[in-house]
Amino acid sequence: MHDKAIEDSQSHSAAGEVVAIHGSVIDIRFPPDRMPSLGDAVSIAEDSGPSLIAEIQIHLDAVTARAVALGNTAGLKRGTPVQTTGAPLQVPVGEAVLGRLINVIGEPVDAGAPFPADVPRKPIHGPAPALSQQGNQPEMFHTGIKVIDLLAPLIKGGKAAMFGGAGVGKTVLIMELIRTTVERHSGISVFAGIGERSREGHELLLELRQSGVLDRTALVFGQMNEPPGARWRVGLTGLAIAEHFRDDIHENVLLLVDNVYRLVQAGGEISGLLGRLPSRVGYQPTLSSEIAEFEERIASVPGAAITSIQAVYVPADDFTDPAVAEIFGHLDSSIVLSREMASEGMYPAVEPLASTSSLLDPRLVGDLHYTTAQEVRKAIAHYRDLQKIIALLGIEELSATDRRLVGRARRLMRFLTQPFMVTTAFTGKAGRAVELDATIAGCRAILDGETDDWAERSLYMVGDLDEARRREASLEDTHARAEAS
């Protein structure tokens, strides 16, 4: 169905033939006057099964082009005929893709019915909105996650990313954001899984189906076991779907991407296969332009916005890595996940001192929010400065003022933990979504000393301060009964 739609929609169909195959890279010879443009899709008719789609990347000479396959090239032979399409790859968009799981070329992979022939399609390559058309008044995108809303608030129509190494909770945080934001915000969600494990895609599909939000979500996957071309372009497929809802249907869109670093990795594999010399730390020389091509198209226009939340793997926890540093430059909010906090059970493991947001300005969020966030950071920073002294000499060697500040910082860090809805089955704790006002009120109470006599565990993995207060009262009752007996 997909191949027929491509062939029927093109008027410039010209025959070429495969002359060489280098893994996922294919050399194709065309007639001299019918050479396709860079970025165009071509269809390679295989003997068995559907046609293979590839994208033209280099003109080797006047009659030979080098293309990147978006599927598996196993069994492909020299001399196989190739049809040009005269346009970039076009994928299905609109209401038809909601509730569906599709691959990089727009084919359903959820065992559902194929898309009808008249489904609208959009090219995966396109320009970013002009600067004159961009921009809305900065507005906070509430997530219900305390530490994010307080210290690194997301911007509606902005770009936010979660940075962390392996196993610190990026995917769980993304899944929680899907669940809470779809329930809290009207609009469409598009999830692009770049280089994800099959298990994670299956879990996400089940989670969205059980929570009843799948019918407002489009899922696009280029799995870890797929060729690099599929992983390299699947982010653009998700972006094309999001842009259609923003520009043509004027809906707000939440674009979730897991994981942007896999896009960079796939680009590096492609770059090597295309014969380009590597650049810094072995990355492709086109690193900056590849990230910019993806990130700059995520923008707001009057009446509708694409809000993007992305997970970024940090190799070896090295935040100076060129790919990570390049992604940082495109963001409005940066949420840094800490392995040290994860090892202490502080989930979500958001590092309060390294996470930032351009929205955290008193003119945008108000004096109370800004002041509270700064005081929370200051208290935690002071505690971190004293940690070595405490480890060497003990907390008793600190002054009374420092002991009090350390106690408040530890309580703040525990109050900023939170049980998630998506982890309820594993932890047995019901998830919590907390309003910003309740988060600020709880932090202010801790900073003002209201909880100085409370047990620290009363504030760990709770929602608002009222829940912590009830837990503290329960602990006191238990302690009193134990003493009485």
The pLDDT assigned to 137 comes to 75
pLDDT in tens, 325-382: 999 999 999 999 999 999 999 999 999 999 999 999 999 999 999 999 999 999 999 9
Q: Encoding tokens for residue 188?
A: 């469409």
CA atoms within 13 A on the CB side of 229: 25
Structure tokens at 248: 């043509």
* Radius of gyration of the chain measured on its C-alpha atoms: 26
CB distance 75 to 26 below 8 Å? no
Residues 192 and 260: their CA atoms lie apart, in Å, by 9
Name the pTM for this structure. Answer: 0.89
Segment 4-21 shows an average pLDDT of 63
pLDDT (0 to 100) of residue 394: 87
- Angle between helix axes 367-393 and 436-447 (nearest 10 degrees) is 50
Beta strands in 85-232 (DSSP E): 90-92, 101-102, 121-123, 140-141, 154-155, 159-164, 188-196, 217-223
Dihedral sign from CA coordinates of 262, 263, 265, 266: positive
Burial string for 223-234 (b: 16+ CB within 10 Å, else e) reads: beebbbbbbbbb
- What's the CA gap between 64 and 408, in Å, rounded? 68
Mean pLDDT for the stretch of residues 233-249: 95
Burial label, 386 (beta-carbon count in 10 A; 0-12, 13-18, 19+): middle
Cβ atoms of 2 and 106 closer than 8 Å:
yes
Q: Which of 22, 7, 17 is nearest to 73 (CA)?
A: 22
Look at residue 6 in the predicted model and tell me its pLDDT: 45
Token pair, residue 111, equals: 């065992």
CA distance 459 to 465: 8
20 has pLDDT over 90: yes
Please give the pLDDT value at position 238.
96
Q: What is the mean pLDDT of residues 306-317?
A: 92
Q: How far apart (Å, rounded) are the C-alpha atoms in residues 465 and 462?
A: 8
Give the mean pLDDT of 54-68: 95
Say which DSSP state 422 is in.
Answer: G
Catalytic site positions: 170, 196-197
| Concatenated DSSP letters of 86-127 | SSS-EEE-SGGGTT-EE-TTS-B-SS-PPPPTT--EEES--P
